[in-house]
Amino acid sequence: MNLEMEMFVVGSLGVNCYILYNEKDHLGVAIDPGGDGEILLRYLEDKKIELIAILNTHAHVDHIGAVDFLRDKTGARFYVHEADAPMLSDSKLNLSAFMGMPIVTRPADVLLHDGEVLNFGDIKLTVLHTPGHSPGSVCYLLEDRLFSGDTLFAGSVGRTDFPGASMEELLHSLHEKIMGLPEALPVYCGHGPSTSVGYEKQCNPYLNFSRSNGR
């Protein structure tokens, strides 16, 4: 797989935005463009990347801040899981109302479902629905890496004290969808450093606690 990847830490809450593109045809996708749209656009233009898709792992404010900007500038289509679609037009559900900067975005172009396979040229991702941090949280699985959004962090998991969140659902998602993946698989998170499935199985206190309690 001849894919290039660049990570940008964007917005006031430090979201990891990933841009993937194929060197051969320069078709690309952006995962979680949460802010700093001008910086992302400049990179796309400098690398002559044709952005064809914006893929969100969920629809909280810190992950959607530059979505409409990039849609307008590039014509890329916006993808989000159907269960998070209501958050796009509701500043309380996407949490922006509580941060003093209420924002909404236009409806998504494509609503995602669990197990769906997305093909963008040579970029092939499988959608894993992993509710818990939000009702429509997803991870995107490539053959050689996983983008976990705010479902899984290095040594931690996403918060579950938000509307529609559930720690029970989150732990179920992790055990059913993520922990069975190859241990060497790199995991690129929505905030903070990357990790691997195997490291989290061994060292993540949330996963080890839930396992010891029979979850």
Q: What is the pLDDT of residues 150-170, one digit of tens each?
A: 999 999 999 999 999 999 999
Spell out the residues 6+ positions from residue 96 whose beta carbon is closer than 8 angstroms to its own: 61, 102, 103, 104
> One-letter amino acid identity for 61?
V
Q: What are the backbone angles phi and psi of residue 106, rounded to the nearest 5°?
A: -65, 160
Give dist(CA 178, CA 212) in Å, integer: 18
Domains in the chain: ranges and CATH: 3-212 (3.60.15.10)
Spell out the residues 6+ positions from residue 5 whose beta carbon is closer than 8 angstroms to its own: 18, 19, 20
DSSP state of 210: H
Cβ atoms 177, 187 nearer than 8 A: no
Q: What is the pLDDT of residues 25-71, one digit of tens each?
A: 999 999 999 999 999 999 999 999 999 999 999 999 999 999 999 99
| Torsion from C-alpha of 100, 42, 123, 3, nearest 10 degrees | -120
pTM: 0.95
Q: Which of 60, 3, 4, 5 is nearest to 194 (CA)?
A: 5
Q: What is the pLDDT of residues 99-140, one digit of tens each?
A: 888 999 999 999 999 999 999 999 999 999 999 999 999 999
